[in-house]
Amino acid sequence: MVTPYLPYPPLSGGQTRSFNLLKHLSKNCDITLFSFVLPDQSSRYIKNLKRYCSKVRAVERGKTWSLKKILFTGLSPYPFLVINYFSRQLKRMIGQELRREDYDLVHVECFYLMPNIPRTTTPILLVDQTIEFAVYQHYVETLPRKFSLLKPLLSIDVFKIKFWETRFWHRADCLVAVSQEDQRLMRSLSRREVAVVPNGVDEALLKIKKVEKYRQPTILYGVANFKWMQNKEGAVNLLKYVWPQIKAQVPQARLLIIGRHSESFIRSTGLVAPGEKDIVVKEVRDAERVYRRSWLMVAPMGSGGGSRTKFFEAMACGLPIVTTPEGIEGIDAQWGKDVFVNKNFEQLARTAVKLLTDQKFRTKAGQLARRLIKEKYSWRLSAQKLYSIYQQVAKEQLVK
């Protein structure tokens, strides 16, 4: 398995997905993990992963923004996203491992890692956790007017992302999406079969725990990584268009914006005044406790793709979800029952106010959300589905 991040600790959606799949797949599979690490990541994290992997090989990725990477992007056919995750050292290490050992398949998480996979007869299973070109295209299209001069340059990079993302779909022997929405788009562009392995939750979250709710009516946005553009956009939508309407009707309400890099990002937006007491922005170690103590989650996401791990975890803890159609992609939920979905920010605010002020309604909504996750989504079930795909790929290779 090749991942663009060390899957431990599971702090982001991608890390959570990879870590939990590794944990469950290790019961039936002998796994060698290759991943990028950041300079400050401790060797003890790798030690933890060795509980589930026979071998763990890590390569330092270095800084995202460097003159070398920017120049390479401008002079090469690859987009910046691919350049940022290309490593000759990693490619050499994977090549040596494939020559030395007999593997049934190579599992690649995210298309932009594909240039690191050398030519091989070993089948390649490619998982696209989100359709990257669609995410970046939305980002460019919604840039503020003051950045209009950058749009042509960024549009070229989006074109390159789409070209290589769809090209690598053809190179892989097996394609996997995490949502039916992504599956349909991948099928239409690749004309190939695409399996779906959804995200899930740790079943420990489904155990009922009596945790006292915050006394103040509390809305949660998070737990998220605020270096990801979709999470940034959702937070801005919430602070600019939804939260003021909620606060006007429920003056005692409080907003929690929780996640990695949340403080620096929110500070950069200027949308939260210094000393604001009813908006708390921070990182936390115990995300489960925040989920269980909050009253509901409001996440007005602006673009889709993949699925939100934070939604699965919040729903497993009995938290009602108020979001947009783009936000709920990847979760087979009944709108107005399991989740509350609307494109209109004013309607999202009204729904949030209703949930904050009607305890019976809020409790019932949380119970239905939790039941949906319990019946349909867990990392154990996702790993079982992925393992059956592994077996099919290996079987087809034997026939060849």
Q: Are 383 and 206 in contact (CB under 8 A)?
A: no
**CA 87 centroid distance within chain:** 23
Q: Where are the domains of the chain?
A: 2-200+379-399, 203-376
Contacts of residue 301, Cβ cutoff 8 Å, sequence gap at least 6: 230, 233, 234, 237, 308, 323, 324, 326, 327
**CA 24 centroid distance within chain:** 19
At the top level of CATH, the class of 203-376 is alpha beta
Confirm whether 2-200+379-399 and 203-376 share one CATH topology: yes
C-alpha torsion sign, points 310, 342, 273, 65 = positive
pTM listed for this prediction: 0.90
Query: Looking at domain 2-200+379-399, which of 3.40.50.300, 3.40.50.2000, 3.40.50.620, 3.40.605.10 is its CATH number?
Result: 3.40.50.2000
Give pLDDT tens digits along the chain (400 positions): 999 999 998 878 889 999 999 999 999 999 999 999 977 667 789 999 999 999 999 999 878 888 888 888 888 899 999 999 999 999 999 999 999 999 999 999 999 999 999 999 999 999 999 999 999 999 999 998 888 888 998 999 999 999 999 999 999 999 999 999 999 999 999 999 999 999 999 999 988 888 899 999 999 998 988 988 899 999 999 999 999 999 999 999 999 999 989 999 999 999 999 889 999 999 998 999 999 999 999 999 998 765 688 999 999 999 999 999 999 988 999 999 999 999 999 999 999 999 999 999 999 999 999 999 999 999 999 999 999 999 999 988 876 6
In what order do the strands lie in the sheet containing 106-109?
55-60, 32-37, 2-3, 106-109, 124-128, 174-177, 194-196
